Amino acid sequence: MHMGKVPLLSLEALHQLHIFIFVLAVVHVVFCASTMVLGGVKIRQWKQWEDEIRKDISEQENSSTNEQMTSVHSHHEFVKEHTVGFWTKSVFVSWMRSFFKQFYGSVTKSDYQALRSGFVMRHCCTNPTFDFHKYMMRTLEDDFRTVVGISWYLWLFVVIFLLLNVNGWHTYFWLSFLPLILLLIVGTKLEHIITCLAQEAAKLRDGQEAPRVKPSDHHFWFRRPCIVLYLIHFILFQNSFEIAFFIWLWSTYGFDSCIVEKIGYIIPRPIIGIVIQVLCSYSTLPLYAIVTQMGDMFKQAIFAEQLRLMLHDWAEDARKRKRSQVGVSAFVNVFSHKAQRREVSGSRVQLQNATSEQVTSSANTLQVASLEEIVLSAEESSETKGIRQNEA
């Protein structure tokens, strides 16, 4: 340690920070796992609906009917449930109905049949017996890998709220309401998407056919269904942070310590955390699992695990071949460029040698020509002298 300087955190503070991070990680993993397990139990109850739908489709195919729908009555019931009533004329009442519907019967059998039919007709029209329930469970397992992680922006959020823990502000008490509010907003939005799909199906249907759900990204925030997953991730982490901070304070300093707030600000926090856990497991997560399939694109879980691995390996091999081809082509281009330079330089040398040879040959020819002229002039002069002597 340099003279006149002190560490930003003492050894005791670093030790307590390590303990808190460990408690936060354990609580976050436990909460995410319990949410996925309880939500999976709720979603597995839909397996009976899936088996009935596939059985009806198989019977229709065996009876040589060309109609590829599970139940016309269920589709009409879906549209009637979401489009008939005075509340459909008011946007505010429609949103309020979606808000309260997430607490009871968030997904009914008619909802499941209509949404499943819309997905199959959009992405698997040649396979009406597609196991939509199994596909949802696989996507939920893939999403668990994202939810259980802790991203950098979540740590940034923790640092900001640790800095806002000012005496008298009761920051952590008010912070406990944030995940609950976000969870209610997400559940209301997912329920409202189902209502919008039903209203669109009622407008687009023909008089003789059952209404068809048309999946689209424009029902989601910023046309991105993945934003819902990020919000659920943030909600679960924030709830884990609240419970972990409460456990850490209680186990480290005790319930009667001055660092712990008044009992009126302490008791509501774990109660709100439990409410968030139950609501997210039994309502919001099942809604997310089925409603987010109503986008323009399907997820990679539509392929079996073995097929996904094969496609991934094939894509990696294609990338490697492309990179190697690019590398070889670059290598060949470098050497061809060097060879061209050598050819150019060689041709320049040859040209210089040729010009020099031409110059020297021309000089030699000039020299020879000059010598011949001198000899001829000498001979002519000698002949003229002899003629002059004879004349004399």
Residue 179 lies in a domain: yes
Residue 92 lies in a domain: yes
Backbone phi and psi for residue 319, each to the nearest 5 degrees, phi listed first:
-65, -45
- Residue whose entry in the numeric block shows the structure tokens 């999976």: 40
Specify whether 146 is located in the same domain as 294.
Answer: yes
Report the distance separating Cα 42 and Cα 234, nearest Å.
Answer: 22
CA-based nearest residue to 292, from 135, 57, 92, 124: 135
Residue 3 lies in a domain: no
Residue 71 lies in a domain: yes
Q: How far is CA 48 from CA 88, 92, 214, 383, in A?
A: 31, 35, 24, 134
CA-based nearest residue to 226, from 318, 100, 112, 142: 142
What is residue 206's predicted lDDT score, i.e. its pLDDT?
54
Contacts of 128 (CB under 8 A, 6+ apart): 57, 61, 68, 120
CA-based nearest residue to 61, from 129, 110, 123: 129
What is residue 205's predicted lDDT score, i.e. its pLDDT?
61
Specify whether 96 is located in the same domain as 238.
Answer: yes
CA-based nearest residue to 115, from 192, 197, 202, 33: 197
Specify whether 298 is located in the same domain as 338.
Answer: no
Q: Could you say which of 248, 273, 302 is where a domain stops? A: 302
Specify whether 309 is located in the same domain as 265.
Answer: no
Regions in the chain scoring below 70 on pLDDT? 1-4, 62-75, 86-87, 168, 205-211, 255-261, 303-309, 311-312, 326-392
With beta carbons less than 8 A apart as the criterion, state whether 235 and 179 touch: yes
Q: pLDDT tens across 287-321, in order?
A: 999 999 998 888 877 766 556 567 667 777 788 88
Specify whether 297 is located in the same domain as 350.
Answer: no
Report the distance separating Cα 198 and Cα 175, nearest Å.
Answer: 36
Specify whether 164 is located in the same domain as 248.
Answer: yes
With beta carbons less than 8 A apart as the criterion, state whether 219 and 193 touch: yes
Specify whether 271 is located in the same domain as 349.
Answer: no
pTM for the whole structure: 0.72
CA-based nearest residue to 78, from 116, 130, 42, 132: 116
Vertex 380 angle, CA 374 and 385, to 5°: 125
Residue 1 lies in a domain: no
Specify whether 210 is located in the same domain as 169.
Answer: yes
Structurally, how many domains does the chain consist of? 2
With beta carbons less than 8 A apart as the criterion, state whether 38 and 282 touch: yes
CA-based nearest residue to 98, from 291, 237, 281, 298: 291
Residue 16 lies in a domain: yes
Q: Could you say which of 302, 320, 352 is where a domain stops? A: 302
Specify whether 19 is located in the same domain as 88.
Answer: yes
What is residue 312's predicted lDDT score, i.e. its pLDDT?
67
Residue 5 lies in a domain: no
295: left (phi over 0), alpha (psi -120 to 50) or beta: beta
Specify whether 230 is located in the same domain as 338.
Answer: no
Specify whether 319 is located in the same domain as 284.
Answer: no
Report the distance separating Cα 267 and Cα 259, nearest Å.
Answer: 15
Specify whether 270 is located in the same domain as 339.
Answer: no
Q: Taking each helix axis from N to C terminus, what angle separates 109-123 and 132-147, rounded to the nearest 10 degrees? A: 90
Domain that holds residue 140: 11-302
Q: How far is CA 188 from CA 101, 226, 240, 256, in A?
A: 8, 16, 22, 40
Report the distance separating Cα 18 and Cα 339, nearest Å.
Answer: 62
Q: Could you say which of 259, 276, 302 is where a domain stops? A: 302
Report the distance separating Cα 274 and Cα 368, nearest Å.
Answer: 115
Report the distance separating Cα 196 and Cα 207, nearest Å.
Answer: 20
What is residue 260's predicted lDDT score, i.e. its pLDDT?
67
> What's the DSSP call for residue 284?
I
